Amino acid sequence: MAGITQIITYEGDRDTFLWKHPAVDFATWSQLIVHESQEAIFFLNGQALDLFGPGRHTLDVPNIPLIHKILNKPTGNQTPFHCEVYFINKTEQPAIKWGTDSRIQYLEPTYRFPLHIGASGEMSLRVEDSRKLLVKITGTEKSFDHAGLVRIFRAFLQTRIKPYLARIMQEGKVSIFETDIHLGELSETLHTQLLGDFADYGLRLERFFVTTIAKPDGDRAYEKFKEIHLRQYADVAEAQIRQKVDVIEQQTQAQKMVIEAEALAEKRKREGFTYQQERSFDVAEKVAQNEAVGNYSNLGIGLGLMGGVAAGMGATVAGITSEALHPTATAPEQNPFATKVEKLKIMKNAGLLSAEEFEQEKKKLLDTL
């Protein structure tokens, strides 16, 4: 009421952007208290006049220059001010949700088919120009918070975000099937695009996030191209896995062969013979197992591979009888003793028996007669 000194302050929550003090007629010498991160603006007859920052202010005509120009100095300094005071919260307001109220028309850049998408996310705002905010947005509003801001800006956001988002996705060739990996890029680009739009209303868009791109699940065209998109990556992945498995199997087989070869080499080393000696032993063993060794035709290629065998037996290849060269001819009856001696000679010529060992084995045969 007029003539009563008042304390004008705001102790509300930090989620409120703007709050109008209920007192409209307060006397000279009333105390205006503005907290940190707040500003206060005087309105007179619908005009935004003086702005006060943090601190304690005595409301006297000389202390309010713009009012002083409009009003005559009151008689006895008791005339009340017929004006209003708005408190503006200058802190950053986070977690303000936004979303498109209708689908965005969008031409998918990868497969070139039209579809409709939606988008939503969060943003944070801060009042940068209190006077501009009050003049352009507030009007006769007594206060507004996050919900009020979203309500006021709903149409504004729809007309800005939808064309921006469609153009960014189109020009950036962002596939509808890969939007999740581009959310950060989309958020940064939209943030830059929207800075000037919010600045026109005295607001600073501190952060802007696209958290969800609503895909047209169930749409025939979308589902068809989704299957094609997933199939091509699945086929590539399957081929790559199969290739890796083949390489692993080849490496395993090669390693197995190396291990077997190393084990066999270690075995020969412990038994005291070389690979060449083992092969000679195998040949001699096969020949020795042939009970018809006395028939030269059954020696075959073995005679050539074991050079010197014919000489050790006192004969040459040229001296082989016609009966030996014709396996169909009837072979003469063999002497068991002579057969065993022939086996010993072959092993001696192959290097498997020394001369001394040969004589010892031959003596053993003679002792059996």
Phi then psi for 205, rounded to 5 degrees? -80, 95
Q: Could you state, in chain order, the average pLDDT of each consecutive group of 10 residues for the chain (369 residues)? A: 67 81 73 90 76 85 53 48 81 88 82 87 91 74 73 81 88 86 93 92 93 87 83 74 83 84 74 60 57 44 42 39 44 65 79 80 79
Whole-number Å distance between alpha carbons of 65 and 79: 16
Instruction: Give me the pLDDT at residue 275, please.
Output: 57
Two structure tokens written together for 312: 């050790």
The predicted pLDDT at position 194 comes to 93
pLDDT on residue 12 = 76
Closest alpha carbon to 105 in 94, 97, 113: 113
> Residues 47-73: pLDDT tens digits?
777 889 999 988 765 556 555 455 544
pLDDT of residue 212: 92
Q: Note the pLDDT tens digit of each residue in 274-299.
A: 655 555 655 555 555 554 444 443 44
Q: What is the pLDDT of residue 305?
A: 41
Q: DSSP string of 57-123?
A: EEE-GGG-HHHHHHSPPPGGG-PPEE-EEEEEE-S-EEEEEEE-SSPEEEE-TTT--EEEEEEEEEE
Confidence (pLDDT) at 63 = 56
What's the pLDDT at 186?
A: 93
Q: Please report which helix (H) or strand (E) contains residue 286, including its range.
A: helix 275-288
The confidence score (pLDDT) of residue 3 equals: 45
**pTM score, whole prediction:** 0.55
Q: What is the DSSP string of 137-173?
A: IITT-SEE-HHHHHHHHHHHHHHHHHHHHHHHHHHTT
Instruction: Please name each of the domains of the chain with its CATH number.
Output: 7-89 (no CATH), 93-216 (3.30.479.30), 275-367 (no CATH)
Give the gyration radius of the chain's Cα atoms. Answer: 52
Report the number of secondary-structure helices (H) and strands (E) in the chain: 11, 14
What does the pLDDT read at residue 278?
Answer: 59
Q: Average pLDDT, whole number, for the chain?
A: 75
